[in-house]
DNA sequence: ACCTGAACACCGTTCAAGT
DNA sequence: ACCTGAACACCGTTCAAGT
């Protein structure tokens, strides 16, 4: 009765010769995350997209939390680490930060996951080692090295996660316009500096914008933050004469 | 049959004279979030704790997303802004960052929410104004002011969110020990710098730790990051001669 | 080893009705 | 205005069984 030509592909079925692999599932999960957001990445939807049943997805990835961790790893592997030795350490750290941000902008919904999970995974560890190598070359060592790494990594990852946060799913149509109006009409008496600089702040500053960084990238803001981090790192270096 | 003395308070009922207010609900929501985590903050649990029905909670706060936003605001209001004019701008910015972190450590599960939501709310805007005032006093203006604000705020909020991220709920008992062992035994051939500095990194550096900042605060790491941010901000200032 | 088919428990949300 | 009682839709997860 359920003959060929199922137009809607509603019953899970698909021309597949090779059996499904864990990698297939994770890759499809990333696609779904990119297209539909974190809430849209449902085990059921994923199964449907793969032409199987939920239990099959579970067989391959364990559960949703593990799937998300693997998706994060997949994205971290997209990061192309700058060549060592060709750049001075400030330029190298800047280049890696830009590359990290570039990859996260390709997968905006992953940025928050990186920041919210306690990831200890091969792709992450590999990145750590390369950053440590550069900081060590700059003259860092021991506790200072660890501190500098945490300061740099935490700033970059955290800042980009903040940039790429998204609007509440709850929000209706006119929501953005409403907020834009609200922000643009803050009372100058109460908030003189916001009012005086409103053209540089409205829609562009944290807590005063109504679009995530995916809709409206904060390119100049990131470059300024990058200058700040790099200049500040130089300050953490042991005195040259030391 | 269901006489008095319901020992378990299982059926929602509670001695309450005053009707429930929206604030009551939000405050109870924060309590639940602090005690049980984000996944534990369920509309049903919240209703039970308040001695009512889920629909009552919805009547007061709309839906879960709006509840979370209000909880964030409640926490932001705990922040005690340092007095203006008594501190030089670098010290004032450092004091505010420490105070922000202190409040977030009181409510570790809120730190990630601040970073993941596009909040535009009165408590947030008030904080923005005070930071802008200090940056302006330091000599910032216009686009540079906005950039410096974003660099500072994004770094502080992002870094603390990263520090306070939590372990996957999925993790079993021996999970932390397993990870500790894995990290402590990274092959020195592949990861020479991690191996060489393992005592300063294991359990303390991003991507190499197995506890969130709530279990193991990164006090020194934060102070180092703070030095980096402040020193870097000075670098963003217009030249004194300008 | 890999997949099917169906079910369970649970949670956000809503609705009609009460006071 | 504020609350009750019950229901709906949906989603993560599991289980027994197939090949």
- Mapped onto helix, strand or coil, the DSSP state of residue A166 is strand
Report chain C positions within 7 A of protein CB atoms: 1-7, 10-16
Measure, in angstroms, how far nucleotide C5 C1' is from residue A46 CA.
17
Is the pLDDT score of A102 beyond 90? yes
pLDDT in tens, A152-210: 999 999 999 999 999 877 666 678 888 889 899 999 999 999 999 999 999 999 999 99
- Mapped onto helix, strand or coil, the DSSP state of residue B179 is helix
* pLDDT band at residue B13 using 50, 70 and 90 as cut-offs: very low
Kindly state the average pLDDT of the residues B134-151.
Answer: 97
Measure, in angstroms, how far nucleotide D7 C1' is from residue B55 CA.
12
Sign of CA dihedral A97, A102, A103, A107: positive
Contacting residues for B175 by C-beta, under 8 A, at least 6 apart = B167, B210
pLDDT in the model for residue B129: 98
Using a CB-CB cut-off of 8 Å, the residues of chain B touching A141 are 197
* pLDDT band at residue B7 using 50, 70 and 90 as cut-offs: very low
**Is residue A93 a contact partner of residue A134, using CB atoms and an 8 Å limit?**
yes
Round to whole Å and give the CA distance between A112 and A109: 6
Distances A14 to A9, A18, A208 between C-alpha atoms, Å: 8, 11, 47
Is the pLDDT score of A242 beyond 70? no
Nearest to A93 by CA among A237, A213, A203: A237
Is the pLDDT score of B186 beyond 60? yes
pLDDT in tens, A197-228: 999 999 999 999 999 999 999 999 999 999 99
* pLDDT band at residue B173 using 50, 70 and 90 as cut-offs: low
pLDDT in tens, B65-104: 999 999 999 999 999 999 988 999 999 999 999 999 999 9
Distances B182 to A72, A228, B179, B202 between C-alpha atoms, Å: 19, 35, 5, 10
- Mapped onto helix, strand or coil, the DSSP state of residue A117 is strand
Round to whole Å and give the CA distance between B124 and A206: 9
- Residue that wins the pLDDT comparison between A180 and A110: A110
pLDDT in the model for residue B3: 31
**Shortest CA distance from B126: residue in chain A:** A191
Using a CB-CB cut-off of 8 Å, the residues of chain A touching B230 are 232
Measure, in angstroms, how far nucleotide C3 C1' is from residue A20 CA.
10
Residues in a beta bridge with B77: none
Report chain D positions within 7 A of protein CB atoms: 1-7, 11-16
State the average pLDDT for chain A: 91
pTM reported for the whole predicted model: 0.93
**Shortest CA distance from A162: residue in chain B:** B115
Residues in a beta bridge with B117: A166
């Amino acid at each position: 009765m359920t003959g060929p030509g199922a137009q809607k592909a509603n019953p899970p079925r698909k021309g597949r010769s090779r059996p499904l692999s864990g990698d297939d599932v994770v890759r499809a999960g990333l696609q779904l995350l990119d297209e539909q957001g974190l809430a849209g990445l449902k085990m059921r939807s994923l199964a449907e997209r793969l032409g199987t049943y939920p239990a099959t997805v579970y067989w391959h990835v364990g559960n949703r939390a593990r799937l998300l961790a693997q998706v994060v790893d997949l994205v971290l592997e997209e990061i192309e680490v700058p060549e060592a030795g060709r750049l001075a350490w400030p330029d190298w750290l800047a280049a890696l930060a830009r590359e990290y941000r570039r990859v996260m902008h390709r997968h905006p919904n992953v940025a928050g996951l990186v920041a919210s999970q306690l990831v200890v995974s091969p792709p992450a560890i590999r990145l750590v080692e390369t950053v440590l190598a550069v900081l060590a070359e700059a003259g860092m060592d021991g506790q200072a090295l660890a501190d500098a790494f945490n300061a740099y990594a935490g700033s970059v990852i955290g800042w980009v996660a903040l940039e790429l946060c998204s609007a509440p799913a709850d929000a209706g149509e006119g929501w953005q316009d409403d907020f834009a109006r609200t922000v643009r009409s803050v009372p100058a008496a109460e908030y003189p500096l916001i009012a005086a600089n409103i053209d540089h702040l409205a829609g562009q500053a944290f807590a005063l914008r109504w679009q995530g960084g995916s809709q409206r990238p904060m390119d100049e803001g990131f470059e300024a933050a990058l200058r700040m981090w790099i200049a500040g790192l130089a300050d953490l270096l042991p005195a040259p004469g030391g």
